[in-house]
């Protein structure tokens, strides 16, 4: 890494105190809506804790979390104890919000309650049923670029968002699928993939894993360490999904379950819970953390908007920031498959920037635009 790269300062973090930002909108509307939905179905004892949380978000301050329940999130929060919710780094306050929801439901390391389990199971059931009408994608020989496009469309299935567009509404802003296809088929020892949402999202990931598995020795797939962001996958969710696939009456779903299970038994696919996915991490600029999680992986596939924020850091990047800046820091290739639902975005050409001026005003957060973006030498 050159001295100029080392000395270049990181951009400032996205925060909830910027008027008109998606972070401010989330604190004012999106997160309270999530609480309102939970309150409708929660038990009386839980409702009180959720209502207290809703009040704290408006008039209270950040308080300490019980140590060790959520990995090192309690340590990451220490500098912000006593601070107003409307003056917080965006990713940090989101993670804190979901940790508080879990505590309200009685979550502990011994009783890892998932208040979002019903929603995830419903999303998985609906996605599995849809496989019957998607034979071209379920074909084990489906073209990789088609699966990459489908993976971006699948990423609309994000239950933490205030609006979920249909796949007909998604337009690719960046399409580097041909470059990605060549990269995925070069022959690697290890490819990592960071999972995102339940439902159609995770199924498109599994279809992609099956398709690229012949081109690498093994694939390591990472899930969240505890339930958050409503539809994000945990290891418990993954095991339940595989059981559903194996028991499905839909041949394509059952075959996918059998193929993924075989990859697991052959150690060609490894499912891993990654604690860093539950704290406000920044992979591009934290070599030690990146090495600890991704080891000797030659390529990391970041699925979804949240994982893009983990990759690049939840920061106020100029959208024209050169991809090579992140690549050199990250130290390995990256492939980002994402529908855009936050303001973090890099690597846009001047032509694409000009094009964005013709899009709807909320193009960065509406989920109607996607990217297949490669960071590679």
Domains of the chain, start order: 22-105 (no CATH), 117-375 (3.40.50.10880)
| Residue scoring higher pLDDT (160 or 30) | 30
* pLDDT of amino acid 68: 85
Q: How far is CA 55 from CA 2, 59, 74, 130, 230, in A?
A: 49, 6, 21, 40, 21
pLDDT digits (tens, 9 = 90+) for 153-177: 999 888 887 666 666 679 999 999 9
pLDDT digits (tens, 9 = 90+) for 88-126: 999 999 999 999 999 999 999 899 999 999 999 999 999
* pLDDT of amino acid 157: 81
Output the pTM of the full model: 0.95
Answer yes or no: is pLDDT of 3 > 50: no
CA–CA separation, 250 and 154 (whole Å): 19
* pLDDT of amino acid 164: 62
User: Are the CB atoms for 38 and 105 separated by under 8 Å?
Assistant: no
The CB-side HSE value for 53 (13 A sphere, CA atoms) comes to 26
* pLDDT of amino acid 360: 93
Answer yes or no: is pLDDT of 345 > 90: yes
| Residue scoring higher pLDDT (377 or 62) | 62
State both tokens at 199.
Answer: 């439902």
State both tokens at 320.
Answer: 């024209």
């Amino acid at each position: 890494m050159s001295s100029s790269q080392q000395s270049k300062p990181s951009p400032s973090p996205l925060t909830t105190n910027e008027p008109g930002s998606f972070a401010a909108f989330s604190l004012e509307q999106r997160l309270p809506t999530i609480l309102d939905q939970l309150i409708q179905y929660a038990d009386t004892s839980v409702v009180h804790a959720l209502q207290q949380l809703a009040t704290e978000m408006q008039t209270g301050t950040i308080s300490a979390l019980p140590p060790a329940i959520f990995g090192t999130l309690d340590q990451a929060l220490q500098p912000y104890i006593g601070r107003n919710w409307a003056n917080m780094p965006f990713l940090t306050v989101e993670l804190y919000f979901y940790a508080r929801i879990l505590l309200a439901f009685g979550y502990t390391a011994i009783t890892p309650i998932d208040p979002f389990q019903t929603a995830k199971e419903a999303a998985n059931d609906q996605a599995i049923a849809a496989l019957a009408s998607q034979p071209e994608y379920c074909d084990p020989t489906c073209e990789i670029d088609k699966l990459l496009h489908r993976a971006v469309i699948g990423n609309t299935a994000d239950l933490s968002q205030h609006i979920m567009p249909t796949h007909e509404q998604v337009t690719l802003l960046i399409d580097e699928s041909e470059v990605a296809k060549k990269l995925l088929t070069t022959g690697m020892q290890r490819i990592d993939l960071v999972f995102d949402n339940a439902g159609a999202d995770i199924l498109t990931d599994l279809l992609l894993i099956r398709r690229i598995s012949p081109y690498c020795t093994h694939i390591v797939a990472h899930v969240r360490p505890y339930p958050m962001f409503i539809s994000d996958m945990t290891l418990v969710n993954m095991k339940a999904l595989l059981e559903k696939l194996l028991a499905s009456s839909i041949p394509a779903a059952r075959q996918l379950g059998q193929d993924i299970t075989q990859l697991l038994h052959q150690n060609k696919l490894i499912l891993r819970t990654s604690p860093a996915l539950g704290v406000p991490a920044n992979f591009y600029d934290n070599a030690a953390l990146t090495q600890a999680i991704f080891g000797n992986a030659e390529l990391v596939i970041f699925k979804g908007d949240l994982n893009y924020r983990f990759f690049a850091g939840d920061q106020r990047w100029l959208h024209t920031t050169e991809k090579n800046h992140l690549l050199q820091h990250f130290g390995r290739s990256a492939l980002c498959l994402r529908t855009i639902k936050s303001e973090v975005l890099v690597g846009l050409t001047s032509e694409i920037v000009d094009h964005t001026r013709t899009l709807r005003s909320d193009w960065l957060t509406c989920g109607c635009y996607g990217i297949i973006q490669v960071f590679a030498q």
